[in-house]
Chains A and B, each alone.
Chain A
Amino acid sequence: MARRNNGIGIVILFVVLSIGLLGSTGWLMTKGKGQKEVLKDVQEELQTAEAAKANLELQLQELNTKNDQLAKQIEELNLEIKDLETSGMNLSDLLVEEENKKIAYLTFDDGPSANTIKILDFLKANNIKATFFVLEKQGYDDLYKRIVDEGHAIAIHSSTHDYAEIYKNVDAFMADVKSLSDHIKDLTGVETKILRFPGGSNNRVSHRYGGSDIMTKIIPTVEEAGYVYYDWNVDSQDAAKGLQDTQVIVDSVLSQAKHNNNAVILMHDAAAKTTTVEALPAIVEGLKEQGFVFDALTTESEPVKFK
C-alpha cells in the first residue's frame, strides 16, 4: 500500500513539475517575442547612429582638409608679405585689429547711364564693391541687374529727381520711392531698403515746394517704412559744376577721406559725369595708400546722416 502511494506521489510530482516547466516555457516564449521587437528597435537605432557617425567622420575629414589648405594659404600669404617688407615696404600699420579698419564706401548717384558701364567694369577689374543710388530710367534694365549680379548695393535715390514733384508733400515723396522700389524689384528681385534723399537729408531746396518743415515730416515716414538713409561725409565735388575737373574730384575725395575711418563718398554716375569716371583710378589708388578697404553699404553700415 505504501509502495502504491509512493508511486502515485512520484507521478503527481512529475506532472506538477511538468506543468510548472511548461508554464515557465510559455512565459519565456511570450517574453521572447517582446524581446524580438526590442532587438529590432535597438538594431535600427544602432544602424542610424552608425550612419550619423559615419557622416560626422566624413565631415571631420573635410574640415581637416580645409584646415590644412587654409594653413598653407596663410603660410604663402605671409611669405608674400615678408617679400614686400624685404623690398622696403612698412606694413606694420596695416597689421592692425579689425576695430581700426578704414572702410571707404564709394557711392554713385543719379545713374544708371553709359558711365555706369565703365564704373562697373573698373570695380570688377579691381575687386571693389560700391553702392549705386539709382533713378528710375528706361532702357537700362541690364545695368540694374549688373549692379546686383556683381555684388554691389543698389539703393533708392529717386524715381524722377524732380524736386518740385517729390518734395511737395510726404505722400508725393513716398509715391516716388515706391515707384522706384517696384522698378528695382521687378528687374532684379531685390527689395532695397537703403535710401539717399536727393540733395541730402538737410537739403533746403525741398523747402521751396513742401515748406521749411517738409524734411522733418519725410524723414520719420521713410524710417517707419523700414528704410535706412545715408548722406555722405566726403564730397567729391563732381556735382559742383556741370563737368568738374578730374583732379579737383581726386583731390576733394582724398583730402576729406583721410579724416574719416568710415568714408561715405558722394559721386555721380549720371551721363554727363565723365570726369568722375576718369578720376576713379586715382581715387582708388589714393584711398588704398591711405589704408582704406572698400565695401558696399548695407542697412547695418555705420550711419552717416546730416539730420
Chain B
Amino acid sequence: MSTYGYSRRVHKKNNGKKIAAIIFGVAVIAFVIVGGKTYFMNKKVNDTKEALTRVEEETIKLQEEIEALGGQIEGLEKESEKLESILWRFEPIVIPDSMK
C-alpha cells in the first residue's frame, strides 16, 4: 500500500515538471513568434520612413529644378517677345476689307 502511495506522489511530481516545461515551451514559442513579428514590423516601418525621407529629398530637388527652369523660361519668353516686337515693325500694314 505505501509503495502505491509513493509511486503516486512521484507520478504527481513528474506531471508537475512536465506541465511546467510545456508552459515554458509554449511561452518561449509565443515569445519567439510575437517577437519576430514585432521585429519585422519595426523593420518595415523604418524602411518605409527611409523611403519617405528619400522621396521628400528628391521632391525638394525637383521643386528647385522647376523654380530655376521657370525663371529661365520667363527670360526666354521676354527675349522672344522683344524679338517678335522688333520683327513686327517690319511687317507690312494690313488694310482690312472694310477700309478698302
Q: Give the interface of A toward B (CB within 8 A).
A: 4, 7, 10-11, 14-15, 17-19, 21-22, 24-25, 28-29, 31-32, 35-36, 38-39, 42-43, 45-46, 49-50, 52-53, 56-57, 59-60, 63-64, 66-67, 70-71, 73-74, 77-78, 80-81, 84, 89, 91, 94-95, 117-118, 121-122, 124-127, 277-278, 280-281, 284-285, 288-289, 291, 293
Contacts and interface: CB of A to CB of B under 8 A. Distances in A.
Classify chain B: how many residues form its interface, as a range. Answer: 35 or more
A2 to B, nearest CB: 14
A124 B95 CA distance: 10
A21 B86 contact: no
Contacts of A10: 17, 20
A280 B93 CA distance: 10
B87 A81 contact: yes
Given A35-B41, A46-B48, A81-B87, 20 more contacts: A14-B21, A14-B23, A21-B28, A28-B34, A29-B34, A46-B52, A49-B52, A49-B55, A56-B59, A60-B66, A63-B69, A63-B70, A66-B73, A67-B72, A70-B80, A94-B86, A278-B99, A280-B99, A281-B95, A289-B89
A303 to B, nearest CB: 24
Nearest to B41: A35
A67 B41 contact: no
Contact of B96 (A35, A73, A78, A118): A118
Given A7-B17, A42-B48, A81 B89 contact: no
B63 A81 contact: no
A60 B84 contact: no
A95 B80 contact: no
Contact of A70 (B13, B20, B28, B73): B73
Nearest to B42: A35
25 contacts: A10-B20, A15-B23, A18-B20, A18-B27, A21-B30, A22-B30, A31-B38, A32-B37, A32-B38, A35-B42, A39-B45, A39-B48, A42-B49, A53-B62, A56-B62, A67-B69, A70-B77, A74-B79, A95-B86, A118-B99, A124-B96, A125-B95, A126-B93, A281-B93, A289-B89
